[in-house]
Chain A
Amino acid sequence: SQQGEEDPQALSIQEGENATMNCSYKTSINNLQWYRQNSGRGLVHLILIRSNEREKHSGRLRVTLDTSKKSSSLLITASRAADTASYFCATDAGRGSTLGRLYFGRGTQLTVWP
């Protein structure tokens, strides 16, 4: 399966600490995306990194991509209670796959305590 897998499944930290989540996938990709889902809500796009990029920043978010290891990490710096949510990585399936189709992992549940 192309589906990405996030690690850890659950992460619990204090406000102000950094949170790191990892994602591994199986086949070549064109891009990898991270999404956030608050309880009972739809998913919100956070960041997209292309296969020829190694690192990308957006505000307090930093994403890295290592295509040789087929892995990515999402770092949230100076976490806030409002960052409490599930975080999903999503990949396409590279050449030959349905254009635009994304495969989601099971997610990491992040809890940030005040």
Chain B
Amino acid sequence: EAGVAQSPRYKIIEKRQSVAFWCNPISGHATLYWYQQILGQGPKLLIQFQNNGVVDDSQLPKDRFSAERLKGVDSTLKIQPAKLEDSAVYLCASSLGGWTMWADTQYFGPGTRLTVL
């Protein structure tokens, strides 16, 4: 079974530029998550999708971050414009969703390491 795919693996940009990350979840997984992990901290949820609908985006800085999951499969996360404090690893995860959601295992991609100069 293929895992969660993410690209690019690394990205370096200057502040005020824009950047986009792509995620392809495990086939058949209804729930998709984007996390931000700052160095030395645990992952923090940015947005959670159930199929192509947003379930939770309470921690997403909506003035600069946006995400979409067209057709309920792959997803993109965009930052525009980037700030220095956005330097972090952006992790995508997926889970089965549905009736198992109360005890779902999340499967993580390798992440995208973003450096904002």
Contacts and interface: CB of A to CB of B under 8 A. Distances in A.
Interface of A: 3, 30-31, 33, 35, 40-45, 48, 50, 88, 90, 92, 98-107
A101 B43 contact: no
Contacts of B109: 42
B25 interface: no
A48 B106 CA distance: 11
Interface residues of B, number: 28
B5 to A, nearest CB: 11
Contacts of A103: 45
B43 A41 contact: no
Top 3 nearest A-B pairs (CB, nearest first) are A104-B42, A42-B108, A100-B101
Contacts of B93: 42-43
Contacts of A102: 45, 106
Interface in B56-100: 56, 91, 93, 95, 97
